[in-house]
Structure 1
Amino acid sequence: MNYESSGMYALTDETGTSRRRWLILGGVAAIIVVLILAFVLMRPAAGPAAGAASGSSDAHLPTVSVASPGRNAVDRMVSATGSLAARVDMPVGVAGEGGRVTAVLVQPGQWVAAGQVLATVDRSVQVQTASSLAASIAVAKSDAALAQSELNRAQALVGRGFISKADLEKLVATRDAANARVKVAQATLAETQARNARLDIRAPAAGLVLTRSVEPGQIISSGSGTLFRMAKGGEMELRAEVAESDIKGITVGARAEVTPVGGGQSFPGQVWQLPPVIDPQTRRGVVRIAIPYNAALRPGGFASASIYGGANTSPLLPNSAIQTDATGNFVYIVGKDDKVERRPIKTGEVTDRGVAIVEGLNGDERVVLAAGAFLAPGQKIKPVPGKL
């Protein structure tokens, strides 16, 4: 009984193993049939021998946008850095004899007119001196009037023989001396008044007060140095250091864009002076760029500048067309039989319209505009017109 049961179990296991083997073989066969059908369906349809072969080859070529850049006018741009300053920096000091400051009437950042009083100096002694001189003029005028009166009487009597001509000449000289003393007294008073007027510290021209280094009660004199600094008319400038090789392409009146450090705002400017000398150590010169007044422009601050001038004609390409490796910049152009060729280039100015190519291209080549990183020299492509 036991032997018969063992034989039955062995037969059942053998039958199950055989069934699994056939299922696996059937699955493999089904996969092979599917692959064969897919291969047959994906094969191109048969046609004319030459045409079919050519069409199949072109269908597998990469489609690449190309364009001829031509030549465009590009402004030459020179980058420089430097310090902001007043275009005409006016130091204001003591013009007269000085004294004790009684009042300071302006603050840095304030606009003033030409001749406006910036600070006053005590003049109590000078006022008394001027009053004394004014009184001396009155005395001199009285003496002159008396001398003229005596001369008039003498002239009336000289015809009757009561006055000699010698006495008359003395009276004339006395009258002239008295008039001269009046003029001397008037000149002395005018000089004193002019000196007194110079006690006030005044603006030499209209402009913006930049600094102040004087306070009420301070004793000042001609040796006190600069009390105020002003920017004439509020005009500013950038004193940009430019390489000697770049200066030759810049002209007076050239357009510039000035950007103070730490700010994204740029201000229009114009070159108004080229450097008369070059620093023999740095081989640089200072180009002065005039900038209209703006509160964001502070003398002493650092700024960068882009100076434009000397337009050239060059091909312009988008950044996507320019490739770079260890040997430098290059582009791919489409040559004979639509095969790409590597062309080394040298880039120039970067503008809103693209990058100027100063060497390597004439402008009539068909240049690959994009996907250059996925191409290789000698590779055949399918070029399509692109837009620059």
Structure 2
Amino acid sequence: MRPSRLLLFLLPLALAACKRPEPPAAEPVRLVRTSIAQPQQVGAELRLPGELRPRVEVVHAFRIGGKIAQRLVSVGDRVDAGQPLARLDSSDTAPALAGAQAALSAARTDARLAQGELNRQQELHGRGYLSQAGLERFLAGRDSAQARVEAAQAQLRQAQNAVSYELLRASAAGVVAAVDAEAGQVVAAGQPVLRIARAGEIEARVDVPERDLATARGAARWQVRVPAAGDLVLNARVRELSPVADPASRTYPMRLELQGDTSGLALGMSAVAASVREGEGRVFVLPVSALHTLDGQPRVWLVDPASSTVRQVPVTTAGLDGDTVHIVDGLAPGDRVVVAGANLLVAGQKVRLPAARAAQ
């Protein structure tokens, strides 16, 4: 082979050997779903679905009947104590008030005339021109006129109260939970118009089936899980268990008082109440999808909130319960655990959370 041809053959190989190897491609930022690890009490004997309800829901109604002229609030509005809620048409109460004022004026006029006549008759009685019996008749007339003044004053106060009752006000601060009457509707005295859920007092309402009534009564403690609040779990105690079954559903309404921070909860959220036996251990309950195995050791991915990167930690499990796994060691309360997308991650990889979870 000629030297020139050999040189042309070796030149590409030499250039290829001088090229630096390309760095490995950076791992993409993965979208993952996470859950905050919170210890839970295991050993649930009974699980019942329910919803979050206000502890006190006050039905607001007008104290007089009439036509609703204006509704000033809507469902979901927050109201303060004394805030106007609705107003009645004043066409019914205004004539009654005017009539009571006129009746009081007439009664006072009659009382003044009766007092003047009594004064004259007392003067005649002093001169001996009027008997004692005649004087007593004028005294009775004066007293009767004064009584009519007092009756007219009472009727006026009643008419003024009726005018003040035209405006429906909130009895306490809270949230408008329901509207039962609209503007233009004629309502009777005491007919529900609005329902106000008192602020800051949330509890769980569950319905206990007949077959589970004995178990519910004998439960030592309860826990309530709220899926919409990041699977938040709160301890609870029974505030009320009705002794009478609902005639339609044949279940027994039960109210559970939530213990802990309920500021992030909203009325109407779904909840799951679980009775708890005493003496059971506290574990972390996570979806099975959060778990993966490396070298025969169960592990989970944790998200570092500062750097938005993941790292895997070994954990000790205590068995499965349906689609969840019980973890007894390796996690701490407040750890953010990846529960979806774990099979695509590598150590140190950056991740991002859905917008709703990232704000938590």
Q: TM-score, normalised by structure 2?
A: 0.57
Cα 1:157–1:236 shift into 2, 3 Å: same
Assess, with a 3 A threshold, how the Cα gap between structure 1 residues 285 and 104 changes in structure 2: closer, same or farther: closer
Cα deviation, residue 144, structure 1 = 1.0
Who is 2:196 aligned against? 230
SS in 2 for 1:175: helix
The change in CA–CA distance for 1:266 and 1:110 in structure 2 (over 3 A counts) is farther
Q: What amino acid is aligned across from residue 127 of structure 1 in structure 2?
A: A
Q: Does 1:276 align with 2:234?
A: no
In 2, distance between residues paired with 1:153 and 1:282? Answer: 80
Q: Quick check: 1:88–1:232 contact (8 Å CA) kept in 2? A: yes
> C-alpha displacement at 1:288, in angstroms?
1.2
Aligned mates of 2:105, 2:248 — CA distance in 1: 69
| Distance in structure 1 (CA, Å) of the matches to 2:101 and 2:249 | 63
Identical pairs, percent: 31
Question: Which residue identity does 2:131 align to in structure 1?
Answer: S
Matched, 1:118 2:85: yes
Task: Summarize the Cα distance change of 1:256–1:163 in structure 2 as closer, same or farther, 3 Å threshold.
Answer: same
* Equivalent residue, structure 1, for 2:29: none
- Consecutive unaligned residues in structure 2, runs of 5 or more: 1-40, 286-320, 330-360
- Selected match of 1:247 from 185, 206, 216: 216
Matching residue of 2:144: 177
Q: Check whether the contact 2:283–2:326 (CA below 8 A) recurs between aligned residues.
A: no
State the alpha-carbon separation in 1 of the partners of residues 177 and 283 from structure 2: 47
Shift of 1:85: 2.4
**Aligned position for 1:368:** none
**Does the 8 Å CA contact 2:229/2:265 hold for their aligned counterparts?**
no
Structure 2 residue matching 1:297: 3-state secondary structure: coil
| Distance (whole Å) between structure 2 residues aligned to residue 106 and residue 203 of structure 1 | 11
Residue 93 of structure 1: aligned partner: 61
RMSD of aligned C-alpha atoms? 3.8
Separation in 1 of the partners of 2:94 and 2:247? 56
Partner AA of 2:196 in structure 1: M
C-alpha distance in 1 between matches for 2:122 and 2:233: 84
* Distance in 2, Cα, partners of 1:305 & 1:226: 31
CA contact (8 A) 1:256 1:289 kept: no
Is the CA contact 2:66–2:92 (under 8 Å) kept in the aligned structure 1?
no
Choose which of 134, 144, 155 in structure 2 pairs with 1:188: 155
CA distance in 2, matches of 1:146, 1:302: 73
Q: Return the offset for 1:136.
A: 2.0
Partner of 1:219: 185
CA pair 245-162 structure 1, distance change in 2 beyond 3 A: closer
CA contact (8 A) 1:239 1:286 kept: yes
The 2-side partners of 1:283 and 1:228 are apart by: 28
Q: What is the CA distance between 1:203 and its match in structure 2?
A: 2.6
1:167 matched to which residue of 2? 134
Distance verdict in 2 for CA 1:98–1:146, change over 3 Å? same
Residues 298-309 of structure 1 correspond to what in structure 2 (within 5 A)?
298-299=267-268, 301-308=269-276
What is residue 19 of structure 1 aligned with on the other side?
Answer: none
Query: Post-superposition shift, 1:138?
Result: 2.0
One-letter amino acid of the counterpart of residue 199, structure 1: E
Q: State the AA in 2 paired with 1:170.
A: R
- The match for 1:58 is none
The one-letter amino acid of 1:97's match is: G
Cα offsets for 1:20-44 (capped at 9, x unmatched): xxxxxxxxxxxxxxxxxxxxxxxxx
Query: What is residue 266 of structure 2 aligned with on the other side?
Result: 297
CA shift, 1:285, in A, is 4.0
Match for residue 50 of structure 2 among 75, 78, 82: 82
SS of alignment partner, residue 124 of structure 1: coil
For the Cα contact (< 8 Å) 2:216–2:275, is it kept in 1?
no
Once the two structures are TM-superposed, the CA of residue 126 in structure 1 deviates from its matched residue by: 1.8
Structure 1, unpaired ranges of 5+: 1-73, 320-346, 355-388
Deviations 1:162-185 (A, max 9, x none): 221122011111101101111121
- Structure 2 CA distance, aligned partners of 1:279 and 1:89? 19
Contact 1:260 1:297 in 2 (8 A): no
The offset of 1:313, in angstroms, is: 6.9
Q: CA deviation at 1:156?
A: 3.2
Following TM superposition, by how much is the alpha carbon of 1:106 offset from its aligned partner in structure 2, in angstroms?
Answer: 1.8
Bigger fraction of residues in helix: 1
Bigger radius of gyration: 1
Cα separation, 1, equivalents of 2:105 and 2:249: 69
- Equivalence for 1:287: 254
Q: What's the CA shift string for 1:242-291, capped at 9, x where partnerless?
A: 4235224325xx45333145843344543212342468999964431124
Distance 1:88 1:115, change over 3 A: same
